[in-house]
Structure 1
């Protein structure tokens, strides 16, 4: 085996290009320029990756917030459905309650012949009111209270010196609410101040 195989190229007869002063001076600048280009490219890629990561994070946070809002709305809808499921049924019961109250108003409880009927109707009405109250139906009986347009419907106004203006002086028909929602406003008569005589 020949030893030429293991000798450096210069020793094997391959001529190396001698480094001139010009090529020796340019080589570090070329390397530095290439390094700067690579660093600049990497910085651009890093900046783009950071922007993409921030964008994806924002999208994820928005999606999470939307899901939370959707969950909250669904929970509110279920709660409302449970609270007001009986609304139509309760509204349909109101004429029955009104009829029982009118029967009591027009029955003479002092008359021995009607006393048993009066007591029976009174017990039936009380039982019905107690039952609907268990399910959140409450009477609105605003006699003597200030007029509230959210719960009362003014049927007429009368002059009165005995009560404050804008107070309910008479209830023509009681109102009802279900868990705070008005099923039917109370039909009322409202007081107004006495007319002022402007003639001298």
Structure 2
């Protein structure tokens, strides 16, 4: 049996010896005597317990050393955890910046792709617009009379219709400026005509059709714009004006 296992038995024996050594008359004595004897007996018991607890006290010191070592290790682990947490936060911040940069790059790439697609469409469609113009001139100027001419006319107008449908699918739309106010962003004034039928600055006629691709202008519409007529000066007003100039 080890010293630690023997200690409770020793303590119990000491307590039994202390109690058994107490004379029976002590319990019948006066209260002061009983109290004095009890205190002395308790002191002796405590001293006996302290003597027997010396090995336990030494064992507790060893435990204290072990506990101190554990505390130091715990502090070291805590410092390591704080360091790793800081590294994790730094890595997280770097990842967030990289994710934001990648998102900006992705959006910029998509915008550039859309711009390139629109530019490519614009270049191709611009080359096809003169073909569309020729079909429209043929439709307005040619007047088929024979059955053969009518068949040819119907044939190339079918081609014209197919071409226009393809342009519409690509997002191309024709301008309809007649009767609208002149806008230099969409129109190009080729002629000016004095008239009282339209307000000043109104597009009277479209000489060459303009086209847009979405919000992109493929070609400005060439138009004729209304301007007010000059005031009519009568002979009397003219003579009066000449007299004022000579006077």
Deviation at 1:92, TM superposition (A): 0.7
Partner of 2:123: 88
Give yes or no for the alignment of 1:170 onto 2:235: no
SS in 2 for 1:86: helix
Cα distance change on mapping 1:160 and 1:61 into 2, 3 Å? farther
Partner of 1:140: 175
Cα distance change on mapping 1:63 and 1:118 into 2, 3 Å? same
Structure 1 unaligned regions, length at least 5: 1-56
Counting matched residue pairs gives 150
SS in 2 for 1:163: coil
* Greater RCO, CA 8 A, separation 6+: 1
The RMSD of aligned alpha carbons is 3.2
Larger radius of gyration: 2
- 1:47-99 per-residue CA deviation (whole Å, 9 max, x = no partner) reads xxxxxxxxxx9999887765544433222112222334321111110111111
8 Å Cα contact 1:84/1:178 also seen in 2: no
Partner of 2:161: 126
Deviation at 1:116, TM superposition (A): 2.1
Partner of 2:187: 152
Per residue, is there more helix in 1 or in 2? 2
Cα distance change on mapping 1:64 and 1:194 into 2, 3 Å? farther
Mean CA deviation greater in 66-75 or 115-124 = 66-75
**TM-score, structure 1 as length reference:** 0.62
Distance 1:175 1:146 in 2: 15
Give yes or no for the alignment of 1:193 onto 2:228: yes
Distance 2:94 2:184 in 1: 46
Distance 1:150 1:61 in 2: 44
